Amino acid sequence: MLAIGSAAAGAGVLLVGLLALLFRNPRAPRWTRPEAVVFVTMVPVAGMIGIGLGLILYGGSALLDGAGDVRELAALVLVPAVVALVWHALGIRARLRAFAEAAAGEALNAAPMTDLQIAGSIEQPPEAPAPDTPPRRPTRRAA
């Protein structure tokens, strides 16, 4: 149980990193833009991590009761080491930082709207209706 749980949790952590690379990429595909897509893809990954951690707890409990194999403790050391090596080999942290800097730079390159025309006159406040008249329905006027 310890080996299966740690493998599932480790795979889930790697999937989180890879999905973060996909969704944070400035040139990500169009289908990755809606937030619902992020939630739909992250729910199974979070479930995988949760099941993996649950199996680790169950396997640890069985090991303490004397029912488990002591060699499974090697998985608790081996899987995080492999996950860290793959994380470093893929350069996930450096890529996420680069994506964040690129996204921040794009936001600063936006030109402010200086020729924006406001509907209506600023100098003249809207007229209040007479106290005894019923309210009028709003009408569409051409701007």
128 inside domain:
no
Nearest residue to 98 via CA among 11, 7, 24:
24
**pLDDT value, residue 50:** 93
24 inside domain:
yes
138 inside domain:
no
Interval 86-112: pLDDT, tens: 989 988 888 888 888 877 766 544 555
131 inside domain:
no
114 inside domain:
no
Around 137, how many Cα atoms within 13 Å sit in the side-chain half-sphere? 2
The total number of structural domains that make up the chain: 1
Nearest residue to 5 via CA among 58, 44, 41:
58
143 inside domain:
no
Least confident stretch, 16-20, 37-41, 89-93, 121-125: 121-125
* SS3 call for 61: helix
Reported pTM: 0.62
**Separation between Cα atoms, residue 13 and residue 18, nearest integer Å:** 9
Tokens of 91: 């350069």
136 inside domain:
no
Range of the domain at 28: 2-108
**Separation between Cα atoms, residue 46 and residue 38, nearest integer Å:** 12
25 inside domain:
yes
